């Protein structure tokens, strides 16, 4: 059953075009010229209950605009959508009980209040049953490891801690859908890894449908099973993560540790990525040559101490898609 459904969803913005303005006083007196920018263009997709979907694209692709339309914060210029049975922009406050929102740079927490008090306040606003609230809060405290800073005011938390609290706050009312907009933005490597662990746990322990937008492919790989790729407001790809990698990651990385001091390898379809004494790393274009053939060849050519085959990083896959190397609209 679909909890999110969109059909030909579009959204345009009118923005002032300063490029056509004359210089000096004349510019101030001129009638302003506006141009229309299409942020989302004919977007159609549906998401079933419990699915964890990554919504990815470069800056300005229309990810956040789509998310805001699905929350009811923006009215589309065209098309239709339903979220949990509601037309979001017609009934945003009714919908708010069904959805949880996490915007990377904005917080649900009251800065001057201890986290625990912010949670209690949200429980009052959502009119939650005390027993259900306590059970959900305790579970979230455990999943996100919040015990140590529940008594701290939000303004004293680190960005990583605050983000974990924010995600927990968004889930207190047990929403059917969680919208995560850039949850790891601005976090350092350690905080990112920790948050990803918590989100991974969340994805497995809660039935909540997740729609995640992120620039960070690691977020996506850890949390989501399906990827919707958009650019210039249009959907490029809508597929599961495994298929995306299989269909678009035509390159595999082969790491070899050899007895030979200076291993050399030259064959069509294989590129040397790095070379060191007793080591060589190859990139195999599987469209030109089968990986099995290269492995067999290497086994015949070198005395191998170790061999490792790695997938092409998702980030590279996406980069290639945007660069048009494997471009295909599905």
Partner 1 sequence: MRAKVMKLASETHALLTIARFGFKNVFSTRLALLGQFMIYALIVAAYSNVFYHIPPEQLSSYHLTVSQMIWYIAITEMALFCSFYNFLDLQADIQSGLIELSLLRPISVWKLKLAEWLGGFFARFCVLSIPSFIVAGLYAGSFEINFVSVIGIIVSLGLGAIIFLCAHFMVGCATLWLKQSEPAYWLWQKSMFLLGALLWPLVLYPVWLKTIVWITPFPAVLAVTGNWVIGASHYLLIGGFVAQLIWVRIFLKLASLMNKRVWHYWQNEGS
The one segment of 101-109, 244-252, 294-302, 315-323 that binds partner 1 by CB under 8 A: 101-109
* Contact flag: residue 117 with partner 1 (CB under 8 A): yes
Q: In the chain, what is the straight-line distance between the N-terminal and C-terminal CA atoms, in Å?
A: 22
150, β-bridge pairs: none
Q: How far apart are CA 72 and CA 66, in angstroms?
A: 10
Q: Give the residue, chosen from 65, 184, 217, 251, that forms a contact with partner 1 under the rule CB under 8 A.
A: 65
* Contact flag: residue 5 with partner 1 (CB under 8 A): no
> In angstroms, what is the minimal distance from the CB of 314 to partner 1?
29
Q: How far apart are CA 44 and CA 185, in angstroms?
A: 27
DSSP code string of 210-268? EEEE-S-HHHHHHH-SEEEEEETTEEEEEEEHHHHHHHH--EEEEEEEESSSS-----T
* Contact flag: residue 59 with partner 1 (CB under 8 A): no
CA of 243: how far to CAs of 47, 181, 226, 251, in Å? Answer: 17, 24, 9, 14
Q: Give the residue, chosen from 32, 37, 60, 75, that forms a contact with partner 1 under the rule CB under 8 A.
A: 75
* Contact flag: residue 103 with partner 1 (CB under 8 A): yes
Nearer to partner 1, 89 or 248 (CB): 89
Burial class of 11 by CB neighbour count within 10 A (0 to 12, 13 to 18, 19+):
buried
Nearer to partner 1, 61 or 284 (CB): 61
CA of 147: how far to CAs of 135, 136, 161, 191, in Å? Answer: 14, 14, 11, 17
* Contact flag: residue 113 with partner 1 (CB under 8 A): yes
Interaction residues for partner 1, span 162-201 (CB under 8 A): none
* Contact flag: residue 86 with partner 1 (CB under 8 A): no
Nearer to partner 1, 11 or 226 (CB): 11
The one segment of 122-130, 207-215, 241-249, 251-259 that binds partner 1 by CB under 8 A: 122-130
Torsion region of 295: left, alpha or beta (phi above 0 gives left; psi -120 to 50 gives alpha): alpha
3 state SS of 69: helix
Nearer to partner 1, 120 or 315 (CB): 120
Interaction residues for partner 1, span 222-281 (CB under 8 A): none
> In angstroms, what is the minimal distance from the CB of 270 to partner 1?
49
> In angstroms, what is the minimal distance from the CB of 238 to partner 1?
25
Nearer to partner 1, 121 or 191 (CB): 121
**Helix, strand, coil share (%) of the chain residues, nearest 5:** 35, 30, 35
Q: Give the residue, chosen from 120, 260, 297, 315, that forms a contact with partner 1 under the rule CB under 8 A.
A: 120
The one segment of 2-10, 100-108, 203-211, 228-236 that binds partner 1 by CB under 8 A: 100-108
> In angstroms, what is the minimal distance from the CB of 39 to partner 1?
9
Task: Spell out the alpha helix ranges (H) of the chain.
Answer: 25-29, 63-71, 92-95, 115-125, 130-144, 159-171, 189-205, 217-223, 241-248, 291-301, 314-322
Nearer to partner 1, 39 or 212 (CB): 39
> In angstroms, what is the minimal distance from the CB of 38 to partner 1?
13
Q: How far apart are CA 54 and CA 141, in angstroms?
A: 25
CA of 203: how far to CAs of 136, 163, 198, 223, 230, in Å? Answer: 15, 16, 9, 6, 23
* Contact flag: residue 209 with partner 1 (CB under 8 A): no
Residues near partner 1 (CB under 8 A) are 13, 65, 68, 71-75, 89, 92-93, 95-97, 99, 101, 103, 105-108, 110, 112-113, 117, 120-121, 124-127
């Amino acid at each position: 059953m679909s909890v999110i459904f969109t059909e030909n969803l579009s959204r345009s913005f009118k923005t002032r075009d300063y490029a056509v303005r004359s210089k000096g006083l004349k510019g101030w007196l001129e009638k302003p010229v506006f141009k229309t920018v299409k942020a989302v263009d004919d977007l159609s997709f549906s998401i079933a209950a419990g699915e964890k979907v990554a919504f990815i694209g470069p800056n300005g692709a229309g990810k956040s605009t789509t998310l805001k339309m699905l929350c009811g914060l923006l009215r589309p210029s065209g098309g239709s959508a339903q979220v949990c049975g509601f037309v979001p922009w017609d009934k945003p406050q009714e919908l708010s009980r069904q959805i949880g929102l996490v915007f990377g740079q904005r917080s649900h927490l009251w800065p001057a209040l201890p986290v625990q008090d912010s949670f209690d306040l949200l429980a009052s606003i959502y009119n939650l049953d005390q027993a259900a609230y306590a059970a959900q809060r305790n579970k979230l405290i455990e999943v996100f490891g919040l015990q140590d800073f529940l008594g701290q005011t939000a303004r004293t938390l680190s960005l990583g801690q605050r983000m974990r609290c924010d995600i927990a706050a968004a889930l207190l009312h047990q929403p059917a859908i969680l919208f995560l907009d850039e949850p790891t933005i601005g976090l350092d490597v350690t905080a990112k890894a920790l948050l990803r662990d918590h989100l991974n746990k969340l994805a497995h322990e809660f039935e909540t449908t997740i729609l995640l937008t992120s620039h960070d492919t690691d977020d996506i790989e850890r949390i989501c099973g399906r990827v919707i790729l958009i650019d210039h407001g249009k959907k490029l790809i809508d597929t599961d993560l495994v298929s995306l990698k299989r269909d678009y990651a035509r390159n595999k990385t082969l790491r070899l540790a050899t007895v030979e001091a200076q291993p050399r390898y030259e064959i069509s379809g294989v590129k040397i990525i790095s070379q060191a004494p007793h080591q060589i790393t190859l990139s195999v274009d599987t469209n030109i040559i089968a990986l099995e053939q290269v492995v067999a060849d290497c086994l015949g050519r070198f005395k191998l101490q170790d061999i490792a085959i790695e997938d092409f990083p998702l980030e590279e896959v996406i980069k290639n898609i945007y660069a048009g190397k494997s471009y295909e609209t599905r």
